[in-house]
């Protein structure tokens, strides 16, 4: 498979199930679905898009194989969240493509900072974020997370 076979586009009405299912797959594989997951995945329009966030989906043909969201944190700041690549398509560079599209959109929106939370067991994801320029947030600057699973905190200055 080449990157030419993957297309990335913004969320459209009707993409709710694909966005939800991609995220439930990885969360369920490693963790438990938490209340904030359930709220966000059940209503991405109101929880992500209406406040000014964006969602990007990666497709192989007509199949959604990956996603990533920008969630508004503050003026000029977004959280990179709900990033997923379906297990069958992992290792093919899809995460890198969808993350690049997400970072490009943040830059185009003149964001100054991206932030993300993850878990130390998700080593490939952490390596991807580091390769994209994300730095680990020093412990004294970590803000408590609504996610019990979050134990790695990273940011990217734009």
Q: What is the pLDDT of residues 73-127, one digit of tens each?
A: 999 999 999 999 999 999 999 999 999 999 999 999 999 999 999 999 999 999 9
CB 97 within 8 A of CB 8: yes
- The residues with which 60 forms a beta bridge, in sequence order, are 6, 63
| Cβ partners under 8 Å of residue 58, min gap 6 | 6, 7, 8, 64, 65, 66, 67, 85, 94, 97, 98
Segment 25-29 mean pLDDT? 97
3-112 is a CATH 3.40.50.2000 domain:
no
- Alpha-carbon distances of 143 from 76, 110, 117, 150, 153, rounded to whole Å: 18, 23, 10, 11, 9
- Whether 153 shows a pLDDT value over 70: the answer reads yes
For the chain, the domains span 3-112
- The predicted model scores a pTM of 0.95
């Amino acid at each position: 498979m080449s990157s030419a076979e993957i297309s990335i586009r913004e969320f459209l009405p009707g993409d709710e199930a694909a966005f939800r299912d991609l995220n439930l797959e990885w969360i369920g594989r490693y963790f438990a679905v938490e209340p904030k997951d359930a709220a966000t995945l059940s209503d991405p329009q109101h929880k992500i898009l209406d406040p000014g966030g964006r969602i990007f989906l990666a497709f192989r043909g007509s199949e959604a194989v990956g996603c990533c969201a920008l969630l508004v944190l503050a003026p000029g700041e977004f959280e990179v969240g709900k990033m997923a690549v379906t297990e069958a398509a992992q290792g093919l560079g899809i995460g890198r493509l969808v993350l690049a599209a997400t970072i490009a959109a943040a830059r185009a929106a003149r964001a100054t900072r991206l932030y993300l939370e993850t878990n130390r067991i998700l080593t490939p994801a952490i390596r991807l974020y580091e390769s994209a320029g994300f730095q680990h947030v020093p412990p004294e600057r970590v803000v408590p997370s609504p996610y019990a699973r979050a134990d790695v905190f990273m940011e990217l200055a734009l």
